[in-house]
Amino acid sequence: MQKKILTDQSIYYGNVSMPENWEIDRIELSHHILQSNLTDTKLQLSKTFDKLNDYVREHINLKYSFNLINKETWGNIYKPNETTVPLLNVDPVDLRNSPDYTLLYGVKTKDCMVRIYYDDNRRKGRSWDIEIKDNMFIMFPSTNMYYLTNNQKDSLNFVQTITYEYI
Amino acid sequence: MAHFAKLSESNEVLTVLTLNNSDMLNADDVETESIGQQYLETHNNWPAEMWIQTSYNTLGGQHSNGGTAFRGNYASIGYTWDVDNQIFWPKKPYSSWVKHISSASWKSPIGDASALTDEQTDENTAETHRWRYVWNETNTTWDLTNELA
């Protein structure tokens, strides 16, 4: 008996473990997210963003042997008790230009939960919950719908999203 | 052109970048690894000591152009940097295999497989058989198999 895996629906997550004294400057990232949201402009790219992006791409390639190519990036700020609408980063009528993976990075978060929906054959609409903490990333297929729940009481949550294609 | 391996915190090679020789010259115009490391730290956001120079022409502890072998093997993604022996190691093929320093390669605990006999070689040449020794990790032996059987 043999088995052929036709597709793989995996979630990759973990902390961004940079070398000592080379940690991601999350304060700088949160400033850029704030600036981008206030001015309604694209997120400013920086060396700090490159560090984060290189870390993810290189470690995914090392551990799971596939290459990620950047599509887009943006940052979100969430108020206390804010729950997002269900989010989906593929455009069903433009799959050609849609990303393969969505990555969420906890720039500054507290009590921030992500719920990711998936189908398990005929068992539709299953979900998996994970808390996104500071300096943690979660990457999942962009075809999976997700939403974020922010249960913090007295601060804003900053989450950076990066989308990728894979080859 | 010089090549440098970017190491993870567990000394695994994340990527290999090329560097112009002119970017690693010291004050006396001599190519120096530490200058190259410093250049890469500045331009690639990764600490200097985690960039290790590697030789494109070195494989299995030998230099392909007859030069001096440098650090065992040309580094590649997934290789591991061995600080003590100054060698880039490929992935271990079997858990029982051990490092062979002088050839910068992994060897079975019982050494290499025996050479094929003249008769087996002739049969391979005639393509009536395809004799080959295959490593058996369970028994830690080299098993002679005919791949055409």
Q: What is the ipTM of this complex?
A: 0.87
Residue B79 inside a domain? The answer is yes
Residue B124 inside a domain? The answer is yes
Residue B149: predicted pLDDT = 79
pLDDT in tens, A83-105: 999 999 999 999 999 999 999 99
Residue B136 inside a domain? The answer is yes
Residue A45: predicted pLDDT = 85
pLDDT in tens, B83-139: 999 999 999 999 999 999 999 999 999 999 999 999 999 999 999 999 999 999 999
Question: Could you tell me if B29 and B84 lie in one domain?
Answer: yes
Q: In what order do the strands lie in the sheet with B2-7?
A: B13-19, B2-7, B51-54
Question: Could you tell me if B80 and B142 lie in one domain?
Answer: no
Q: What is the mean pLDDT of residues A139-167?
A: 96
Question: Could you tell me if B128 and B58 lie in one domain?
Answer: no
A50 — contact with chain B (CB < 8 Å)? yes
A62 — contact with chain B (CB < 8 Å)? yes
Question: Could you tell me if B67 and B8 lie in one domain?
Answer: yes
Query: Cβ neighbours of residue A70 under 8 Å, at least 6 residues apart?
Result: A53, A162, A163, A164
Alpha carbon distance B18, B54 (integer Å): 10
Q: What is the DSSP letter of A151?
A: -
Residue B55 inside a domain? The answer is yes
Q: What is the mean pLDDT of residues A121-148?
A: 97
As a whole-number percent, the residues of chain A with pLDDT over 70 amount to: 100
Find, among A66, A70, A64, A65, the residue nearest to A49 by Cα.
A70
Tokens read off for B102: 């002088």
The answer to whether the Cβ–Cβ distance between B45 and A17 falls below 8 Å is no
Question: Could you tell me if B26 and B56 lie in one domain?
Answer: yes
As a whole-number percent, the residues of chain B with pLDDT over 90 amount to: 97
Alpha carbon distance A50, A30 (integer Å): 15
Q: Which residues pair with B19 in a beta bridge?
A: B2
Tokens read off for A105: 């990075």
State the average pLDDT for chain B: 95
Alpha carbon distance A166, A95 (integer Å): 14
The answer to whether the Cβ–Cβ distance between A50 and B45 falls below 8 Å is yes
Question: Could you tell me if B51 and B23 lie in one domain?
Answer: yes
Q: What is the mean pLDDT of residues B49-61?
A: 96
pLDDT band at A119 (very low <50, low <70, confident <90, very high): very high
Q: Do A137 and A56 touch, CB atoms closer than 8 A?
A: yes
State the average pLDDT for chain A: 96
Mutate to test the interface with A, among B6, B14, B42, B91 (most CBs of A within 10 A): B14
**pTM of the shown model:** 0.90
Question: Could you tell me if B73 and B130 lie in one domain?
Answer: no
The answer to whether the Cβ–Cβ distance between B14 and A22 falls below 8 Å is no
Q: Which domain holds residue B141?
A: 113-146
Tokens read off for A160: 């950076």
Tally of structural domains, chain B:
2
In chain B, what residues touch A50 (CB-CB under 8 Å)? 45
Q: How many Cβ pairs within 8 Å bridge chains A and B?
A: 30
Residue B108 inside a domain? The answer is no
C-alpha distance from B9 to closest chain A C-alpha (Å): 6
In chain B, what residues touch A45 (CB-CB under 8 Å)? none
pLDDT at residue A69 is higher than 90: yes
For residue A95, which amino acid is it? Answer: L
Question: Could you tell me if B60 and B14 lie in one domain?
Answer: yes
Q: What is the mean pLDDT of residues A39-68?
A: 94
CA atoms in the 13 A half-sphere facing the CB of B23: 16
Residue B75 inside a domain? The answer is yes
Nearest by CB: B78 against A17, A21, A62: A62
Q: What is the mean pLDDT of residues B57-78?
A: 95
Q: DSSP per residue over chain B, as a string? A: -EEEEEE-TTSBEEEEEEE-GGGGB-TTS-B-HHHHHHHHHHHHSS-GGGEEEE-TTEETTEETTSS---SSS---TT-EEETTTTEEE---SSTT-EEETTTTEEE-TT-SPPPPPHHHHHHHHTTS--EEEEEETTTTEEEEEETT-
Question: Could you tell me if B82 and B33 lie in one domain?
Answer: yes
Residue B98 inside a domain? The answer is no
Alpha carbon distance B52, B5 (integer Å): 5
Question: Could you tell me if B82 and B29 lie in one domain?
Answer: yes
Question: Could you tell me if B81 and B118 lie in one domain?
Answer: no
Question: Could you tell me if B82 and B131 lie in one domain?
Answer: no
Q: Do A90 and A143 touch, CB atoms closer than 8 A?
A: yes
Give the burial string for B64-77 (b: 16+ CB within 10 Å, else e): eeeeebbbbbbbee
Q: Do A140 and A69 touch, CB atoms closer than 8 A?
A: no
Q: Do B16 and B3 touch, CB atoms closer than 8 A?
A: yes
Q: How many CB atoms lie within 10 A of CB A138?
A: 20
Residues of B with CB under 8 A from a CB of A: 6, 8-9, 12-15, 44-47, 50, 77-78
pLDDT band at B66 (very low <50, low <70, confident <90, very high): confident
Residue B140 inside a domain? The answer is yes
Q: What is the mean pLDDT of residues B34-62?
A: 96
Alpha carbon distance B68, B66 (integer Å): 7
